[in-house]
Structure 1
């Protein structure tokens, strides 16, 4: 039974430039420092995109394609678990909007076309806040956070 589609929006402000924020999303060597993964693509409309674990196994965990790219202001990609790459129903979409905001950048990440209540829906609601907090931390302090950390038991 279908639960319908839903979306998740996260907005953060980063003391950085649009160019550095865009690079942090699209450059594998930067993404691994705050995400523990590398975003690998030719970064052209229609090109494949892979989210590769930055460890010895180099496991491809997510896949998709570049829908739109307007550096350094906008990036839109499709998003699916690698195991569901051939199922169009399993794909969702992520849009990164990067805008100057006084001496900062306003980063808006919209993850939509999600199956409401699905494992992906639940996972991204937990994942995006820590990943984007780690991105902010890296760009502002030079050090990302442990995105694989788990809450401590009370």
Structure 2
């Protein structure tokens, strides 16, 4: 089953995009992780930050499927090696799409093409709500939500 989320953010597409890919944005939104990539279609990427293996834990990694600044980012995703022994076999596709609606940005996130019986699917379904709510708050106010973690 595909996961689909739509959020309306009181900001420009450029501001939302910056939060999604910049070092300061990803660090604020994704628990201190940085998105490492050259952002060319077909290139690899990794979200790297504090975790199970120290400061340079790979949380997720994969391949850039689409990259159109301020419009779309699509990623083939695998869980990091410290999370699942069979991480290379597990995958899904994550696509962020941005469009202008009035003075706002509509962010659509689709997380689909899951490997059958992917063990992270259920937890991912819940965590996207938190991450996207945090993104909306961060872009609109410059502050992040405190989930008590």
Indicate the TM-score class for this superposition, using the shorter chain for normalisation.
Answer: 0.7 to 0.9
Give 1 or 2: higher helix fraction.
1
Structure 2 residues without counterparts, runs of 5 or longer: none
Q: CA RMSD in A?
A: 1.8
SS in 2 for 1:58: strand
What's the CA shift string for 1:54-89, capped at 9, x where partnerless? 5762311110110011111111101111224532xx
The structural deviation recorded for 1:47 is 1.1
SS in 1 for 2:130: helix
Match of 1:93?
Answer: 93
Within 5 Å, which residues of 2 pair with 1:25-104? 25-36=20-31, 37-54=33-50, 57-83=55-81, 84-87=86-89, 90-104=90-104
Q: Count the aligned residue pairs.
A: 142
Contact 2:13 2:71 in 1 (8 A): yes
Match of 1:110?
Answer: 110
The structural deviation recorded for 1:117 is 5.2
Runs of 4+ aligned structure 1 residues displaced above 3 Å come to 115-118
Structure 1 residues without counterparts, runs of 5 or longer: 1-5
TM-score using structure 2 length: 0.87
